[in-house]
Chain A
Amino acid sequence: QLQLQESGPGLVNPSETLSLTCTVSGGSISSSSYHWVWIRQPPGKGLEWIGSIYYRGSTYYNPSLQSRVTVSVDTSRNQFSLKLSSVTAADTAVYYCARWTVATLDYWGQGTLVTVSA
């Protein structure tokens, strides 16, 4: 059974860089059938696609966040990562990693709350 687990600091200072890692277990991140995705959900609000990456490194970023987002993959560790720079309180959210086929987002991590505050 595929499992995804987010990890990283739960508190980030304003203007700094948020960094999260998603560890994939029970399957290979190098599968040609999938993309790997970061999604976030501010408290009490809906879901927002942040960015995605294919194991070979091609990426897609939400245009509204593109200038601040970097998603990378480490196939040797079966992990992919998110960096979001110059964060503000508006970036406070639960951050999820997930696996995406064209059809759907079929596996999700449990999510991790990141709070931006001094």
Chain B
Amino acid sequence: QSALTQPASVSGSPGQSITISCTGTSSDVGGYNYVSWFQQHPGKAPRVVIYDVSYRPSGVSNRFSGSKSDNTASLTISGLQAEDEADYYCTSYTSSSPVVFGGGTKLTVL
């Protein structure tokens, strides 16, 4: 299955908001509300920050929010902080396989 499409990199200054997009098809992102977002710091395992498109797990800052429109999901981080600098991956349930990953986006906090 083809990977979901994410921008390779995004950047923002502390306090600003950024949005990372994740584009798939009607067989994955557009067809199911099972989109997740993962944050990965260098040398660490990924951790989920958004699941089911827009739900935050316990312990995740409310500065993280998710949404979806048609075949594109989005992760927004508001009030950017230095600790948000990391790689971010989206995933979606698909009609042909359990999960497909996005290619990842490197977030730089300027």
A residues with a Cβ closer than 8 A to B are 35, 37, 46-49, 52, 60, 62-63, 96, 100, 102-106, 108-111
Contacts and interface: CB of A to CB of B under 8 A. Distances in A.
Given A46-B104, A109-B45, A104 B52 contact: yes
Interface string B48-90: 1001100001000000000000000000000000000000010
B101 A47 contact: yes
Interface of B: 1, 3, 34, 36, 38, 44-48, 51-52, 57, 89, 91, 93, 97-104
Contacts of B38: 47, 105
Contact of B34 (A35, A48, A60, A103): A103
B63 to A, nearest CB: 19
A104 B91 contact: yes
A102 B3 contact: no
26 contacts: A46-B89, A46-B102, A46-B103, A46-B104, A49-B99, A49-B101, A52-B98, A60-B98, A63-B97, A96-B45, A100-B98, A100-B99, A102-B34, A103-B36, A103-B52, A104-B34, A104-B36, A104-B52, A104-B91, A105-B36, A105-B99, A106-B57, A108-B46, A108-B47, A109-B45, A111-B45
